[in-house]
Amino acid sequence: MDALLAQHLLNWLVLGSIYTLIALGFSLLFGVLDVIHFSHGDVSMAAPFVALAAIQAVAAWAVPLTGTGALLLAILISMAAIGLLGVLLDWLVIRRFRAAPAMMALVATVALGTVIRELIRTLYPQGSNPKPFPAIATDVIRLGDIVVPVFSLIVIAVSVLTVIALFALLNHTPVGVRIRAVAEDRAVARLMAIRPNRIFAVTFFIASAVGAVGAVFFVSHAGVVRFDYGVQLGLIGFSAAVIGGLGSMQGAILGSLLIAGIDMLVQIAVPDGASYRLVFIFLLVIGVLVLKPSGILGKPVFEKV
């Protein structure tokens, strides 16, 4: 295989894997709560800032961890912290809109995302400035003329394992049965002694923790983190979920791969494509919604009037 083609394919899989981790959160939350959690990208993007603070705390406490070990510990801490943040935001804000019209929840979560970004910008030291983020791995594997970064393999492997774990959780565990029951009919779930509020909390924790991993991979791939990256990452993750079909886990994966493919093709084929990639990505979103409003794998919803 041509080395340049192999590099492009690898970059496509890396971007698709990162977008998948964000899009899965949107689909999971919409599938269970029937609410578009538009601040999911901003919640996820808080993870790199938590990780940076955790790295500094590890160094200050003289914990015998440095380099990759300290970074991995920081990522685990950020996953737990962002998972709990998702639960807290559901309890404080989002649960108030479960029975409200969809537009109210949408506006509330958009406002919530702005609050999160501004809190990061003002409370984190020099939060308005871009901050370098350490690479998770810098080693490479050489296969002839093809150079494969270990970081790329880690991103792809973690994303695949996360998808497998989520499908196993939802389809082969008691918690997954309860999540699917609440998603299907909350009233019937209550009659079966299932507490929807607990299921909502579990779902928010899982979606936020998975999104945290995606955000950490995103900024490690970029090498820098900004307080407003959550807007872009959230829009791309939401678009991937919409293209595939909101509420469909398989659709979130397919939509992420399609968006990553467009992203790579534009950067390769269009002069100064990096500046215009979002234009083509959202043109794809518009085209899919015009042709199939429910998404590629989504099911049409009929309402009686």
d(CA 243, CA 209) in angstroms, rounded, equals 23
What is the pLDDT at residue 24?
A: 93
- Residues 243-249: what's their mean pLDDT? 86
Q: Is the pTM here over 0.85, yes or no?
A: yes
Q: Indicate whether 65 pLDDT > 60.
A: no
C-alpha span between 68 and 205 (Å, rounded): 25
* Structure confidence at residue 158 (pLDDT): 93
Q: Which residue would you say has higher pLDDT here, 304 or 33? A: 33
The angle at the Cα of 127, spanning 54 to 91, to the nearest 5 degrees, equals 70
Amino acid identity for residue 279 in this structure: V
- Where do we find the tokens 């949408």? 106
pLDDT at 37 over 60: yes
pLDDT digits (tens, 9 = 90+) for 142-167: 877 788 888 999 999 999 999 999 99
Query: What is the pLDDT at residue 276?
Result: 81
Nearest to 71 by CA among 55, 49, 47: 55
Helix axes 3-33, 174-184, angle to 10 degrees: 70
Three-state DSSP class for 15?
helix
Q: What is the pLDDT of residue 62?
A: 54
Task: Report pLDDT digits (tens) over 100-146.
Answer: 777 888 888 999 999 999 999 998 988 889 999 988 888 888 877 78
Structural domain spans, the chain = 20-228
